[in-house]
Structure 1
Amino acid sequence: MTRWGTTAAAVSLLALGLSACATTGTTAKPQASAKPAEKAEAKPLPKGLDGEASSGFPSTYAPLPSRPTAFVGATVLTATGQQIDNGVVVVQDGKIVAVGGPETAIPAGVTTVDAKGKWITPGIIDSHSHLGVYPSPGVSAKSDGNEATDPNTAQVWAEHSVWPQDPGFNRARAGGVTTLQILPGSANLFGGRSVTLKNVPSTTMQGMKFPGAPYGLKMACGENPKRVYGSKNRSPSTAMGNVFGYRKAWIDAADYARKWDDYRAKKEKGEKADAPKRDLQLETLAGVLKGEILVQNHCYRGDEMAVMIDVAKEFGYKITMFHHAVESYKVAPLLAKEGICSATWASWTGFKMESLDGVDSNAAMVWKAGACVVIHSDDPIMTQRLNQEAAIAMTAGNKIGYGVTRAEAIKWITANPAKAMGIADKTGSLEAGKAGDIVVWSSDPFSVYAKAEQVYIDGALTYDRNDKRYQPKSDFELGQPGQGAFN
């Protein structure tokens, strides 16, 4: 359970044939049937046994109460390439209804917020988070992010490890993060499914689950999967062993998908058919081959990215995003051609061999090549300051003359991760019809001094730096000393 403040009322203000034989007194003879008996229809498989159940488990997310609001006078970064000075953003019924300059019409009955001197951006989206699956405090009892039991654990789902009481969610919200993609770890070639969460206080994972967001499949290339199992004399222990593992898995998945397709085709024709046994591992992989699940691929080195692209082409699936990707600058034209995003940091380099050639200007160089750039965290502290990490990357690019503007760099932590997570039609930019996911900053968000003063999710105030009623705590934090406002 979460605690919002002194009373629940403070939040509620933001609002919600029987047949018989004929006889003649003698023994009746059965009548000849006029037509052959109809075949009994086969009963459908229970949902849990049918291979199409891979669409996933339901979300119970419901937006918090909100009220129509117009933010007036701020510098607005829309994440569509615009910076609007003295801008206006209008939110109603949880959706953005208008964005523009001072001439923008404000509907009657809308509460006006004077935002002069402030900056407004879309809510920050962290495309690579382990909050909830590696929660704070970091103890073994809650270490649920890596199913390090086999090179292929595509059958596990990160949502089944999420602990919604992780205090890290509250810390991230105080840094402007409104949406997160929670990934399983990278000990495996196939680590399992990701889940996308709305960063709202909730007693259950289902209450945070982003409605309609597609699943991702976490894959990993490079050092991690080959070192975890090589010491146990289990494949893989080399880079070529990694690639064999991917290819074998995709062959098995394609065969599995064909069996289900053949079964359904026969059923549609009224032919006798036995359903294949449902296999959760192959079901996830088959979902990728059918384009239903997005591939989120941990991969540092440029040459290994090129190999992963070859594997994807062999089996007809698409890589959505390379994660960590510190060498994307080496293959930036290839990534632009293939339409693959690179999720990276600005300055996390040199901490292991595959990160040795990282450069601070990586993100800017990829952007300059016309490819999609994302700044992610992979860290419970950095997720609180993704705006600053994007600022470092932007500044590094501008030092070598690229001229990256704030209007472009804000996309790296908003619109682009939304695109790579399959939710760009719902959030990630300030456009009419999209969710009212908004951050009001004290100053230029690319300044080290900027603070997220207010955070709105679907138009509802979910964090206010100056109002303790909107500084929620998890049950885990209750009664602990020093748990005041986030600073």
Structure 2
Amino acid sequence: MKRLFAAIISLSVLAPAAKAQNDAAAAPQKAPIALTGGTIHTGTGQVIENGTLIFDKGKITYVGAATTSFPAGTETVSVVGKHVYPGLISPANQLGLVEIASVRATNDQQEVGDYTPNVRALIAYNTDSEVIPTVRGNGVLITQATPVGGVVSGMSSVMQLDGWNWEDAVLKKDDGVHLNWIGYFRRSFDGTGVSTVKNDKKDEQLHELDQLFNDAIAYAQSTPATVNMKLEAMKGLFDGSKNLYVSADYGKEIIEAVKFAKGKGVKKIVIIGGEESLLAADFLKENQVPVIVNTTHRLPNRTDDDTDLPYKLPYLLQKKGVLVGLGYIGLHWRTRNLPFLAGTVGGHGLTPEQALQLVTLNNARILGIDSYVGTLEKGKHATIVVSAGDLLDMRTAKVEKAYIQGKSVNLDDKQKKLYRTFSEKYGR
């Protein structure tokens, strides 16, 4: 009797959890699909009115003017009056690594230690996260799962927002190592707010970082009998197979970080955050270092800066010749608002198509995935968003269809389900 009672209790606990699970991952594309009659924003700057986009087996086979020449068995989908975009790409955030920020057991974004280049965000990525569907509902179909903490946080991986597990979802594994640059100041949270304090350990930390890179260089140039996981993870920095992502905001620190990495023979460097990157724009252009700008919905750091400087920053950097991407860095659930960041930037110097490129083609180039995604071109992945209105305008954006490598993605999510539940309850 006790066993039966225990079994009943267990089932009563598990039932709500099972009901709360996300819908199954999308099935592979079975037949060619043609999206016809819509306005196609290719991500290259080109806009095709009344265009047609055809994809088969997960790849785009045609994009261009309206056509009636379809492969046998093609499913035609009318998107007349709608807009077709490449899937948006969200870099440098913890989507899939954090579920509820205030619940420690659901956080898997950081490991113990200051120097952990061997930590892989890839294997911690949770495809069952209930946050993921809420993000792709706004057109974000690709994310860069990124570890945080310490000085060298670990390796990120580029993930598609659909799949049964991380093996299904991964687009580019271990794409780069993340370094939080050791600055003259550090930001501290004391429970009441954020304050900036002097970093008294800067010299000591720089010495440790210098030693780590020297060890990694020596390791990469030798054939060690025993594998060192930390140094093995850094080998790709010196042959160009991995990016070094450096989180730095102040102008002087950005220059210092790039000089350090260049001096160690790092081939590909990316600045993340870059609040004062405009002060180092000429240096960044000269060294061909791109910047992933953090959320622009903020006030400037300096009291004598223009109030709208954060909104204009991507335009001003691009005008200087710097490759610029845009992200909601670190904030996993807020990354759903990425298209609207691009939309407001588009009102401060950039054209709408240039603003779109910040979160499609430019981010793809920076992450090294532009041969697969970022634009709607023949041969690339059919990772596509269909919106009833302008995807970058929060007033009109309404994503109605999404495809990841040709797979039709379910756009339902927990928030929509709750809305339906309580609308029914209260008769609205």
Band of TM-score, shorter chain: 0.7 to 0.9
- Pair 1:432-2:378 in alignment: yes
Cα distance in 2 for residues equivalent to 1:122 and 1:224: 40
1:308 partner SS: helix
What code does the residue aligned with 2:346 have? M
2:159 partner SS: strand
- Pair 1:198-2:160 in alignment: yes
Contact preservation (8 Å) 2:50, 2:65:
yes
Higher alpha-carbon Rg: 1
- Pair 1:345-2:364 in alignment: no
1:391 partner SS: helix
- Pair 1:72-2:91 in alignment: no
Contact preservation (8 Å) 1:136, 1:166:
no
- Aligned-pair distance for 1:446? 2.3
What code does the residue aligned with 2:23 have? W
Residues 251 and 409 of structure 1, relative CA distance in 2, 3 Å threshold? same
Partner of 1:140: 104
Contact preservation (8 Å) 2:136, 2:161:
yes
Contact preservation (8 Å) 1:79, 1:414:
yes
Partner of 1:451: 398
Contact preservation (8 Å) 1:179, 1:196:
yes
Identity of aligned residues (%): 25
Partner of 1:362: 313
Structure 1 residues 319-468: aligned runs within 5 Å: 319-349=268-298, 359-378=310-329, 379-397=331-349, 404-448=350-394, 449-464=396-411
Residues 250 and 348 of structure 1, relative CA distance in 2, 3 Å threshold? farther
Cα distance in 1 for residues equivalent to 2:220 and 2:323: 31
Structure 1 residues 20-169: aligned runs within 5 Å: 64-103=28-67, 105-136=69-100, 138-147=102-111, 149-169=112-132
Question: Of the candidates 23, 45, 49, which is equivalent to residue 4 of structure 1?
Answer: 23
- Give the paired residue count: 389
Contact preservation (8 Å) 2:29, 2:56:
no
Contact preservation (8 Å) 2:291, 2:324:
yes
What code does the residue aligned with 1:458 have? Q
Deviations 1:347-379 (A, max 9, x none): 2445989xx996221111111122211111122
- Aligned-pair distance for 1:126? 0.7
Question: Of the candidates 208, 213, 216, which is equivalent to residue 245 of structure 1?
Answer: 208
Residues 213 and 99 of structure 1, relative CA distance in 2, 3 Å threshold? farther
Name whichever structure is richer in strand by fraction.
Answer: 2
Contact preservation (8 Å) 1:226, 1:242:
no
Contact preservation (8 Å) 1:153, 1:190:
yes
Taking only aligned residues, the RMSD between alpha carbons, in angstroms, comes to 3.0
What code does the residue aligned with 1:423 have? I
Contact preservation (8 Å) 1:226, 1:237:
no
- Aligned-pair distance for 1:434? 0.4
Structure 2 unaligned regions, length at least 5: 1-17, 189-198, 423-428
Contact preservation (8 Å) 1:188, 1:225:
no
Structure 1, 102-111 or 73-82: larger mean CA deviation: 102-111
What code does the residue aligned with 1:391 have? G
Residues 483 and 142 of structure 1, relative CA distance in 2, 3 Å threshold? farther
1:416 partner SS: helix
For normalisation by structure 1, the TM-score amounts to 0.73
Partner of 1:268: none
Contact preservation (8 Å) 2:137, 2:399:
yes
What code does the residue aligned with 1:197 have? M
What code does the residue aligned with 1:432 have? K
- Aligned-pair distance for 1:142? 1.8
Residues 381 and 454 of structure 1, relative CA distance in 2, 3 Å threshold? same
Contact preservation (8 Å) 2:237, 2:268:
no
